[in-house]
A = this chain, B = another copy of it.
Amino acid sequence: MTAKSKSKKLQRRRNDPEGLRARILDKAADLFQERGYHSTSMHDLMQVTGVSAGALHHHFPTKKSIGLAVLSDRVGPAVRAAWIDPVREAPALGKGVAEVFGGIIAGLRARGAVLGCPLNNLALELALTDADLRRNVESIFAEWRTALAERIGATRGGAKLDGKERAAAANFVISVYSGAMNLAKAMQSAVPLADAADLLSHWLHQHRFAS
């Protein structure tokens, strides 16, 4: 790279506050997922992003503000992409849930390590840390539950249920997934998720929630 193009690149970075913010959030989301929120310091973020203290604090005056932004701009969209959109768009709920599990299991096997669900990981770390962070975690779970409850309500089994029962069934699906992911992370194996997918698929069919 010539000195001129390097200087142009630096110029571009300086003039690209959105790009800088995105880069910080990407790294923060990665570190929160690998080490956890509490084990990631502002200093760590400066080191891995190469961003100055001034620039980091300009975008995120506190670690909490990074936590809130990671939840809204990274974890929320990840849960939407992995679970909520496929559940909404699947031709049938049973098939949709099976494909979600299949995709996640394939991803774990390709990676060779189980980092866990980013929402779960942050949920357990942040639930007692700060009320705002917890409420943001809860709102992602609520969006996930709503999408599942709506699909359940549109099935033959779900049509007979009231709103509370649909929400309970949706929470059950989320619980099976979250708990199986906990076990998978503890065992560093995709087996608990594969087993859970089979038994959950059977459960959806039994309750006539599958289609």
B187 and A178: CB pair below 8 A?
Answer: no
Residues of chain B within 8 A (CB-CB) of A123 are: 182, 185-186
Max chain B C-beta neighbours (<10 A), residue from A113, A116, A141, A195: A195
A180 and B183: CB pair below 8 A?
Answer: no
A175 → chain B closest CB, angstroms: 3
A136 → chain B closest CB, angstroms: 10
A170 → chain B closest CB, angstroms: 9
B interface footprint on A106-141 (CB within 8 Å = 1, 0 otherwise):
000000011110001101110110000010011001
Contact-residue size bin, chain A (C-beta under 8 Å from the other chain): 35 or more
A39 → chain B closest CB, angstroms: 5
Interface residue ranges of A180-203 to B (CB < 8 Å): 180-183, 185-188, 191-192, 195-196, 198-199, 203
Residues of chain B within 8 A (CB-CB) of A167 are: 195
Complex alpha-carbon distance, A181 and B181, angstroms? 13
Closest to A144 in B: B183
Closest to A123 in B: B186
B121 and A124: CB pair below 8 A?
Answer: yes
Complex alpha-carbon distance, A96 and B119, angstroms? 31
Q: Which residues from chain A sit less than 8 Å from chain B, CB to CB?
A: 34-36, 38-39, 113-116, 120-121, 123-125, 127-128, 134, 137-138, 141, 167-169, 171-172, 174-183, 185-188, 191-192, 195-196, 198-199, 203, 206
